[in-house]
Amino acid sequence: MKYRDEYRAPDAARGYADAIARITTRPWTLMEVCGGQTHAIVRFGIDQLLPEAISLIHGPGCPVCVTPIAYIDKALEIAALPRVILCTFGDMLRVPGTQSDLSAARARGADVRVVYSPLEALTVARQNPRHEVVFFAVGFETTAPANAMAVYQAQREGLGNFSVLVSQVLVPPAIRALLERPGNRVQGFLAAGHVCTITGYEEYEPIAREHGVPIVVTGFEPLDILEGVYRCVRQLEQGESCVENQYSRAVRRPGNAMAQQVMQAVFQVVPRQWRGMGDIPDSGLGLSPAYRSYDAETRFGAVNGEAEMRGDCLSGAVLRGEIRPDQCPAFGSRCTPERPLGVTMVSEEGACAAYYRYRRPTGGSARE
């Protein structure tokens, strides 16, 4: 496939791996922020190509994984109401709430519909004027513009039966929070390319400067990630800490101005709770006063309760990059995608699910 296979070329990948090995003189710990990158790393075995001195730890960039459990419970509560249609992206369906998940709620008769775009939820609202249609708006800066556009459009059309349950989060405050955590091991970041397509990367520059960490805006194909690692290691070896853009075929420094405009009109920055990371100031988006009537929390009551799951799940430590998924005692035994203890095992982009899917030790020698 054109524009994809070029970025998966085995010879070029080995070339990058050799180049990384040549410039590496001591151990470095890097974090890839985005779950999509984690998925690619584990799927293609990119970490297997790297010198042992380079450790990749997997960041909190999976929107499903960091959504507090209280929001799942709220979505379940709303979906159970009569004459409500809850629209959601597919991978929220199996995320366990305290008691149940949306997939089970659907099986019991709740009207839960998977949509591919928030604008589809608007169509559902137009077609069902006697129902309340609620869209579960989760995600990072990547989903925020489209989610904002749905609300903007709903107001323009005067669609009174549409609202959004918002759990939007922002990447830069989470990177700061990780760096400021006692015992932080991360020395350099591969920033999430698609997030930066929207936001650009100016906001990352002070973080790199103040914390002395290189940040490389990186894409999602094997060669993107290898080049991101190369650039990050090169900076570390030379004692530099600036923001570089590896993903220049998609990302510009100022980002996408139109997307930012609609985000700024509809949303405002708010504090957010993250699974695994707790409260982070200014790390989320909520509806701005002009659009608050489209907030599902205004219509159906505010979300409150726990961010975390109970029990012996270590997904918090996984999300903070403190342990690798396969270092959790429950991994692959008591915790599997069919019976997940934690959300990092549920989501396709969760680090635990990626490890389970591509690395599960089943007694044989999957790896050299």
Query: Which positions touch another protein (CB under 8 A)?
Result: 1-2, 4-5, 8-10, 13-14, 36, 42-46, 48-49, 63-64, 89-94, 103, 114, 116, 138-140, 142-143, 194, 222, 336-338, 347-349, 356-360, 362-368
**Cβ nearer to another protein, comparing 209 with 360:** 360
CB of 105 to another protein, least distance (A): 15
For another protein, give the closer residue by CB, 102 or 213: 102
**Residue 235 CB, nearest distance to another protein (Å)?**
24
For residue 354 the two structure tokens come to 């990626």
Nearer to another protein (CB atom), residue 142 or residue 344: 142
- Smallest gap from Cβ 257 to another protein, in A, equals 20
Residue 238 CB burial class (10 angstroms; 0-12, 13-18, ≥19): exposed
The rounded radius of gyration (Å) of the Cα atoms in the chain is 21
Nearest to 137 by CA among 170, 164, 169, 101: 164
Please say which residue, 322 or 348, places its beta carbon nearer to another protein: 348
Kindly report each contact of residues 285-290 with a partner whose C-beta sits within 8 Å and lies 24 or more positions away, as own/partner.
Answer: 285/144, 285/166, 285/168, 285/169, 285/170, 286/166, 286/168, 287/151, 287/164, 287/166, 290/265
Cβ 206 to another protein, closest distance in Å?
A: 25
Of the pair 201, 220, the CB lying nearest another protein is at: 220
> Do residues 36 and 250 make contact, with C-beta atoms less than 8 angstroms apart?
no
Lateral strand order in the sheet of 111-114: 111-114, 84-88, 132-139, 162-169, 278-287, 267-274
> At its nearest, how many Å lie between another protein and the CB of residue 13?
4
